[in-house]
Structure 1
Amino acid sequence: MRRNRQIDRELQVNSQMPMQTETKQRRGAWTRMVAALVLGLGVAIGPIAPAPLHAAPDSFADLAERVSPAVVNITTTTVIAAPTEGFPTVPEGSPFEDFFRDFGFPNGPRGPRRSNALGSGFVVSEDGYIVTNNHVIEGADEITIEFFSGKTLDARLIGTDPKTDIALLKVESDEPLKFVRFGDSDRMRVGDWVMAMGNPLGQGFSASVGIVSARNRELSGTYDDFIQTDAAINRGNSGGPLFNMDGEVIGVNTAILSPNGGSIGIGFSMASNVVSKVVAQLKEYGETRRGWLGVRIQDVTPDMAEALGLDEPKGALVTDVPEGPAREAGMEAGDLIVSFDGVEVKDTRDLVRRVADTEVGKTVRVVVMRDGESKTLLVTLGRRELAEGEEARPSAAPAKPMQKEMFGMTLGVLTPDQAERMGLPADAEGLVILDIDETSEAYEKGLRAGDVITEAGQEKVTSIADLEARIDEAKEAGRKSVLLLIRRGGMPRFVALSVE
């Protein structure tokens, strides 16, 4: 009886289904038709489904076991000469005699002493090439490599690159060595898992894990491209590898940011896409060979962009063109480099890296904006290492002395005597800042007494009248500021000052 009542209730419910099903079918058909129409129009409705998240690995043990044989500890020995002057002497038999002897003071042994340092590295080829930091082996007389197995070998230095703090070593082994490969650091994203390995605080082989905290960090070098990570990096980790989860090296552990010298979760690894190129050159030549364009450049600020009539601040503004490839190709101070070898230039840092990574002797197309027009120049790159230290060679004719107050500055025409006192060539020209109001916009933007204005509106100025003419031109063009080229101690930079 109870069973029959249950069947009756089910029949009553089911009897209502056809109408509901028919209605739902109509609604479903309408929904599908609308969806098809929307998709056909290329329009998205509603929130985008989130990308699937990758779960954290259950363990890093397999990865650590796989790459450990290629990670090495590095011990360096340096012979340091004992001090010979400036230290006190003590009488023989004095209770302080042993103390002074221990520290190599004149009453003790005066011979040289040996100093040891520790670091890390990793093998990048089966025939024994090893990568580490330059600061790990700098000045070393002996370099010893300890492998994960406990085996030790002496290493010789192949080459170094202080600019990226990279060194390449070589060991001779009777059997092929386990090695690791470089990965693509540009593919790493903030939040990706990474593992650092090395010899922290001299404790031997050690692994630590974390994530990529940031990318494209710049510390102090021209070619810096650091990956920031919270994987623990301490003293002794220098030169060790930073791995991705595929066991590829995507960074070389180089520096930490810490108030006490220990890890606080802010470590920096030089990106592998920088390191791999340096290593290839050190292996082939024993030194780096970077491309050289031969210009001095600076970033474009928003007010400079407005003065130049640009929609946004981008590119690299040429402040000076000394003797070199760029001058031979016809580049001029005031040109805005917007493209190099077919790739858009974002800023000065971007341009410097692209030039450095380009083969020496290659002829590249460089697109510049000059007087509002685009020009393409063919530049055959030189070698930066040979060109470093070259000075700019400004040339001009002197003008008649006069002074005037402008932009909160007292300006005067530069005389040969003033140029000599400032360390400039006797034939240097321009307007010298004799005095400046510390509340002025010019002072706020870094101008100081003694600076020389050589250009305004990207044209040379040899007199106050020249500067006034450039200001009038900027106003007539509807611009709010005028671009000045300033030299301080011979070094140029652009500054935009308001003309309103």
Structure 2
Amino acid sequence: MTHHQRGASRARVAALPAPTRLALRWLSVVGMLLLILAMAMPLNAQDRPVSFADLAERVSPAVVNITTSTTVTAQLDPNQPRLPDGAPFEDFFNDFFNRDGQRQPRPRQSQALGSGFVISADGYIVTNNHVIEGADEIEVELFTGERYDAVLVGTDPATDIALLKVEAPTDMIYVPFGDSEVARVGDWVLAVGNPLGQGFSVSAGIISARGRALQGNYDDFIQTDAAINRGNSGGPLFNMDGEVVGVNTAILSPNGGSIGIGFAMSSHVVERVVFQLREYGETRRGWLGVRIQDVTADVADSLTLPEAKGALVTEVMEGPSRDAGMQSGDVITSFDGGNVADTRDLVRRVADAGVGRQVEVVVFRDGAEETLFVTLGLRDDDQLASSSSQGAAPATPEQILGLEVIELTDQMRTDMGLEPGLTGVLVRGVEPGSDAESKGLRAGDVITEAGQEPVSTVADLQARLDAAREAGRRTLLLMVRSGGDPRFVALSIE
């Protein structure tokens, strides 16, 4: 605006009646105040709730305290004198040393406390498996003080989830599951439970991290700084809509108390487990029928894979994948329409995909992608468990890539418990400080492939090494069996 225009504007305002001029001044002041407040609001955390009281009041009636009783058989005092059965004066001896007249000490009752939450009006309750594991009796206490005996519907130790059922005379207040996949780091959450047996307690915090893995193959933990202590196990972690986004399961602490690092199994996992426990009394996870390992940068280089992503197949077992034509050395890059990041990602998605479904699996093989169609089987961890063994061999090794290797003999296969027809070379020793040592190769390992070609002699292994060097490769990909379990290892040949 020019000086002339500003002067004309002031003249027009001055010509207005006094009340109108006063109103304009007030509007100008109010506008400036609103602008200042709008700029300051992000600094004052305008999204922070004034109070959690309404939310706590709404969800607490669906949270329960859980008490379990377990009969523990008492052991005889090893220092107490005993007589053989049928010995003279046995009755007198027992009466003297056991005033109650019983030779065996009485069993005692062990009790444990935990938390849980109601997920349906007809009395289904979710808690942790470790809260009720081995319990003879399970009792739940409602927020109102009512107590009910609970029966165990099913458990899933892999995710530490258990499902209980109580019979109440009226419909029970329950809470719904929320979508943990849309929860964001920094979101407010509320933990409700029975910490240290003190009764119903509420604590608030934020989501500190997502996608945490502790030990299991199916872990998908939400990390929170909401106070979680012993007794909170099995209790719910709520979002601000009063939906359960996690089941409080574990804490990281040097002293056993909360230091602001707690973990809740995400509702994305729990909801699927609970559905299966409710329907079948057990979990039914999909099974691909392969052993896999992560793709490292050197393995990707050996396979000419563009990125170090996916899951490298080390063994194809009798089952779904073998029927579909999958091979050892394939890299699974896509499963059921989604890219595979690593082995943990694939294991979880296969488990969630269901039993009997035909899924599309894309593998990287011989420098190109190939699509397979696999009908998933039912995973049985007991059948998949494998044993390992170790053995020794006569000392006539040769040195290759920092490894002392020797050809397998029938006697070695017998001594080491290997399959009768297994071919390869045995690792007798590993040079300290070598790339082979850093990649985890150890004496007793068996190399069955090199450069994705089978080897049965030391000469075969040397030939694969020479071919890789002639081709300008920086690494040689080996298939190694350690204690019977196969894995791929890429060794530097530069």
Please name the residue that 1:348 is paired with.
343
Q: Deviations over 1:44-64 (max 9, x none)?
A: xxxxx9996652100000000
Match of 1:62 among 54, 58, 61: 54
CA shift at 1:292, angstroms?
A: 0.3
Structure 2 residue 446 is the aligned partner of structure 1 residue 452: yes
Q: From 427, 435, 440, give the equivalent of 1:433.
A: 427
1:371 corresponds to: 366
Q: Which residue of 1 aligns with 2:479?
A: 485
Shift of 1:130: 0.1
CA distance in 2, matches of 1:322, 1:423: 19
The residue number in structure 1 matching 2:29 is none
2:122 is the counterpart of 1:136:
no
Question: How do residues 412-423 of structure 1 correspond to structure 2 at under 5 angstroms?
Answer: 412-423=406-417
- CA distance in 2 between partners of 1:72 and 1:122 (Å): 6
Deviation at 1:147, TM superposition (A): 0.2
| Cα deviation, residue 190, structure 1 | 1.1
* Deviation (angstroms), 1:488: 1.1
What stretches of structure 1 of length at least 5 have no aligned partner? 1-12, 22-48, 91-99, 394-400
SS at match of 1:139: coil
Aligned residues: 443
Measured after TM superposition, the shift of residue 493 of structure 1 is 1.1
The Cα RMSD (Å) is 2.7
2:462 maps to which residue? 468
Matches within 5 A, 1:29-428: 54-84=46-76, 86-88=78-80, 110-385=105-380, 388-389=383-384, 391=386, 403-428=397-422
Q: Deviations over 1:366-405 (max 9, x none)?
A: 1111111211111111100276425599xxxxxxx98421
**For residues 106 and 223 of structure 1, what CA distance do their matches in structure 2 show?**
52
How far the C-alpha of 1:308 sits from its partner, in A, is 1.0
Can you list the C-alpha shifts for 1:422-461, whole angstroms capped at 9, x where unaligned? 2212221101111221121101111111111111111211
**Residues 455 and 261 (structure 1 numbering): CA distance in 2 closer, same or farther, change over 3 Å?**
same
Q: SS in structure 1 opposite 2:380?
A: helix
Classify 1:14/1:449 alpha carbon distance in 2 versus 1 (closer, same or farther; 3 Å).
closer
Distance of 2:7 and 2:362 partners within structure 1: 72
- The AA in structure 2 aligned to 1:297 is I
Percentage of matched positions with identical amino acids = 62
What's the offset of the Cα at 1:410? 1.4
Q: Which moved more, 1:427-436 or 1:265-274?
A: 427-436
Partner of 1:94: none
Report Cα offsets for 1:171-218 as digits up to 9, x if no partner.
Answer: 001111000011011111111110100000000000000111111111
Deviation of 1:354 (Å):
0.5
Q: Equivalent residue of 1:405, what SS?
A: strand
* Corresponding residue for residue 489 of structure 2: 495
The amino acid of 2:311's aligned partner reads A
Shift in Å, 1:15:
4.3
The one-letter amino acid paired with 2:271 is S
Deviation at 1:474, TM superposition (A): 2.4
Partner Cα separation in structure 2 for residue 288 and residue 188 of structure 1: 25
Contact 2:400 2:462 in 1 (8 A): no
Deviation at 1:169, TM superposition (A): 0.2
Distance 1:142 1:240 in 2: 19
Q: Which amino acid is 2:455 matched to?
A: V
The range that moved more, 195-204 or 437-446, is 437-446
User: How far 1:364 moved relative to its partner?
Assistant: 1.0
Tell me how far apart the structure 1 counterparts of residues 223 and 450 of structure 2 sit (CA, whole Å). Answer: 41
Give how far 1:471 is off.
2.1
Please report the TM-score for the alignment, with normalisation by the length of structure 1: 0.84
After TM superposition, the structure 1 stretch with the greater mean CA deviation from structure 2, 256-265 or 382-391, is 382-391
Aligned residue for 1:317, secondary structure, equals strand
Work out the CA distance in 1 between the residues paired with 2:319 and 2:450.
24
Aligned-partner residue type, residue 490 of structure 2: A
CA positional deviation for 1:66: 0.2
1:17 equivalent to 2:6? Answer yes
Which stretch has the larger CA shift, 405-414 or 108-117? Answer: 108-117
C-alpha distance in 2 between matches for 1:162 and 1:492: 26
Distance in 1, matches of 2:449 and 2:101, equals 62
CA contact under 8 A between 1:423 and 1:489: conserved in structure 2? Answer: no
Take 2:7 and 2:425, find their aligned partners in 1: how far apart are those partners? 93
Moved more, 78-87 or 239-248: 78-87
Q: Secondary structure at the match of 1:455?
A: strand
Q: For 1:387 and 1:291, how far apart are their aligned partners in 2?
A: 15
Residue matched to 2:16: none
Cα distance change, pair 453–386 in 1 and its aligned pair in 2 (3 A): closer
Contact 1:84 1:106 in 2 (8 A): no
SS in 2 for 1:58: coil
In the alignment, the residues of structure 2 paired with residue 365 and residue 459 of structure 1 have an alpha-carbon distance, to the nearest angstrom, of 27
Aligned equivalents of 1:302, 1:382: Cα separation in 2? 31
The 1:468/1:70 distance shift into structure 2, 3 A limit, reads same
Q: 2: CA distance between counterparts of 1:453 and 1:106? A: 66
Specify the SS of the correspondent of 1:132: strand
Q: After superposition, what is the alpha-carbon deviation per residue over 1:318-375, rounded to whole angstroms, capped at 9, x for unaligned? A: 0011211111111111010011111111110000001000110111111111111211
Partner letter of residue 439 of structure 1? G
The 3 A distance-change label for structure 1 pair 463 and 108 is: closer
Residue 317 (structure 1) shift: 0.1
- Cα distance in structure 2, aligned partners of 1:466 and 1:146: 69
* Cα distance in structure 1, aligned partners of 2:192 and 2:296: 41
Find the aligned partners of 1:373 and 1:367 in 2 and give their Cα distance.
10
**CA distance in structure 2 between the partners assigned to 1:346 and 1:143 by the alignment:** 41
